[in-house]
Structure 1
Amino acid sequence: MTTDQADRPTEFPPQQQEPPGSTAAMTPTPDHGEQSYQGSGKLTGLRTLITGGDSGIGRAVALAFAREGADVAFTYLPEERSDADATVGLVHDAGRRGFAYVADLRTHDACVEVVARAVGELGGLDVLVNNAGYQMAREGGIESIDPERLDRVFKTNLYALFWMTQEAVKHLKAGGCIINNSSIQAYDPSVSLLDYASTKAAINNATVNLAAELGPRGIRVNAVAPGPIWTPLQPATQPPEKVAKLGQDTPLGRAGQPAEVAPAFVFLASPRDASYVSGTVLGVTGGKPVF
C-alpha cells in the first residue's frame, strides 16, 4: 500500500465483505476524523438526524456534527450494531447526546417511527441528513438487475429519502435544513451501477425541487456528491480488483476518506456559514466534475 503526500492511501489490498460491510474488517481502517477533526461551535445546540450514521460518511458526519456542538440521532441496520455502538461512543466523547435507532428504512412505517423517536428524544429537529444508501456492482447487462435488487436500491436510496423528508418537514422550523447524499455517479455513471446511479441523479433533482418548495418556509435543502470514498460499502459491493484501485481514476489519483467529506455537510448545516445556500449540490470528488 502506498500513500500520497497527504498520507492518504492511493492503493488498497484486495478485499471483500458481505453487505452492508463492517469498519473493523477493512484494511486500512477508514479515517472518520477521530484524530483530526476539531470543532468550532458551528452547529451548537442543533438537533440532527442522520440516516445510516453508523459507519463511513455517516459516522464522519456524526462525529463532526457532535464536535461542532450538535446532538445526534442516527439509524443503522441490525448487522451494523458494532459500528453503531462505536459511533455513539464518538458522539458521547464529544460531550453531546447521541441516539442510535436500528431501522430498515425501506418501509414507510420505519421512517415515520424514526423521525418520531428522534424528535421525542432530541426535543425537536433542526437538521435531517439523508445519507443511507445501497449499491451492488453487477456483471452483465440490464437483464441482470433482478426485481429484488432494484427494489432494495430504490427504496433505500430514494423512497426512504422521500419518506424521511415528509416526516421531518412537519417539525423543521425556519432556519432548519435538509442535506441529501448524492454521488459522482449522478454525473459520471458506471455501467455496473446503473440502478444506483439512477437514484443519485433523482436525488439531485429532488434536492433542487425541495429547495424551491421549502425555501418560502425558511428551510434550506442541499446535497453533497461524494466521489469514491473508502467506506464499508466499497469492499461489500465491489469486486476485490476494483477495490484495490478505488479512486485512482480521479485527478487527485486516490480515494477520499470519510473525514474529507464530513466538512461539506458541516458547512451546509451551518446556519451561519450557509444561510444563503440552498438548491446546491456540493461535489467532494477528488477533482471529478459535478455539472
Structure 2
Amino acid sequence: MIRIFLIRHGQSLYQSLKIVSGMNEYGLSGLGKVQCKNIGKKLSSIRFDYAYSSDFKRCIESYEIIEDELKHKPSNVIYTPILRERDPGSDLLKSYSEVYPLQSQTMVDRENNAETSEEIQIRAQGFFNQLITQQLYQQSFQKLPLDSLNKMILSSQVAEPHYSHHIMRSYIHQAQQFSSSQKSTSCTNILAISHAGFITEAIQFLYKHQNIKYTDGLQPAVYARNGALFLLEIEAQNLDDWKCNIYLRNYSKSIDAPFESII
C-alpha cells in the first residue's frame, strides 16, 4: 500500500494580499508558517519514506517547517514541477476581485492562456503513476533473484540499445540493494506538499479513475484550504489495476483520530 499525505502549503504573502501568484512570490506569511508548524506537529510521529514538494517557494518553505517537527526525517526529498500550482496565464499578479468573478467562464472562453483542468489532471496522473511504479518495482526487486532481474530488464524496452549490459547490470544490482534496505512492510508513507489547484484536480482525477460520481453524474467538488491534509491510500496490482481511498483530516483532531472518508 502507498499512503500519501497530501498537504496544501501554508498561506503565502501573496494570498494575504489577495493577489494571484505564480513563481513570482515571497514565500509564506506569518500565518502560513504557523499553519505548517501545526501540521508538522500532527505528523511528527509518522515515519515517512519519501517527501515530494512543488518547487515553488511557498511549498519549499512549508516542507522545511513541517520537516523540522518530524521525529523521523524522510531519507529522500524531491522538489518537482509536477506538483506545481495551475499556471494562471494572464491572471498572474492580478487581484482576486479581478479574477474570481470570472471563474464561472471556462478557461478557453476567457482566453487567458491558463492551464486547463485536463492538463493538471495529466500531471496528477503522472505523479501517481510514478509512485505506483516505484512501489511495484521495489516489490519486484525484493522478490526476484538478480539473474531474473537481468533477464527481465535487459529484454525490455527500458534497455536502450546504447546501454551496455555492464551498465544495466550495475544499475539493477544497485536497485536491488536499495530495495533490500527498505522496510519489510509493504506500506510506503509519502509526504507531498502542493497547491489548491493541483490538489483539486488530483482528487478529481482519482474520482474519474474510480468512476465515483454523485447521483446527478457529477464528481464531488473539493477545495483544499491552507494546511489542509488529505490521506490517499493506494492499493496497486499494476499501473492499470489500482484503487485509492481518499480521506480528509479534520484540522481540529489529532493525527490518531480516524480520517473522514470523502468518497
TM interval, shorter chain, is: 0.3 to 0.5
Write 1 or 2 for the structure with the bigger share of strand: 2
Structure (1 or 2) with the larger CA radius of gyration: 2
Q: Which one has more relative contact order, counting CA pairs under 8 Å at least 6 apart? A: 2
